[in-house]
Amino acid sequence: MAGSVERERSKPIIALAAAGRTYRLGKVRTEALQPTTLDIARGEYIAVTGRSGSGKSTFLNLISGIDRPTTGSVIVDGHDLGGLNESRLSRMRGRTIGIVFQFFELIPTLTAVENVILAMDLVGALPVRQRRDRAMALLEQVGIGAHARKRPSRLSGGEQQRVAIARALANDPPIIVADEPSGNLDSRNSDMVAAIFADCVKAGRTVI
């Protein structure tokens, strides 16, 4: 038994097997991601680098199930994403992956704390009564508890990205996927985002 638990733990949390993505626009074919084979272990902190257009977002979108590979397979936390239908995929994504975007993508009509609660409402993992307290605790954790009742338009870029990170952590996912999360921030706020992600890794999450 202990051996099988150990094997479970040492299994890669993300495994790409010759996973590639080709776009076709009319007769034009773009190989956005060449077939890629890669294992990512639980608790790894990985940076993906490359020039603009080299396929970084394509790669991240395959991992987060926003997009599907045209060849090969992507396995995340034991789920072969190619084999999941839309609703199973979105359920898996909601519980397993927290996504952080370059332009935050907060809901403008909701306050900071409501943005975080919404992510919990969509997944339904936590009893309704506990959601607001957890959202507040997450906002405290990323240093913006005092701004919980503000709408995104009243927050700076760095503050909005902290809300987005709190939202990404809402359902306690083992994986965080962030695509240029500091691409729209100054260097001080970029350092802050990197520090929060380093804390996530210390807490056992996988951050890409």
Residues forming contacts to ligand ADP in the complex (CB under 6 A) are 23, 25, 30, 32, 50, 52-58
In terms of phi and psi (left: phi > 0; alpha: psi -120 to 50; beta: otherwise), the region of 143 is: left
Binding of residue 61 to Mg ion (CB under 5 A): no
Binding of residue 57 to Mg ion (CB under 5 A): yes
Question: Which of ligand ADP, Mg ion, none lies near 25, with the C-beta cut-off 5 to 8 A by kind?
Answer: ligand ADP
Alpha-carbon torsion, ordered 107, 111, 116, 119, to 10 deg: -40
**Whether the Cβ atoms of residue 119 and residue 91 lie closer than 8 Å to each other:** no
Binding of residue 182 to Mg ion (CB under 5 A): no
For residue 85, the minimal CB distance to ligand ADP (Å) is 22
Binding of residue 96 to Mg ion (CB under 5 A): no
For residue 53, the minimal CB distance to Mg ion (Å) is 8
For residue 55, the minimal CB distance to ligand ADP (Å) is 4
The pair of structure tokens assigned to 36 is: 């890629």
**Residue 26 phi, psi dihedral angles, 5° rounding:** 60, -120
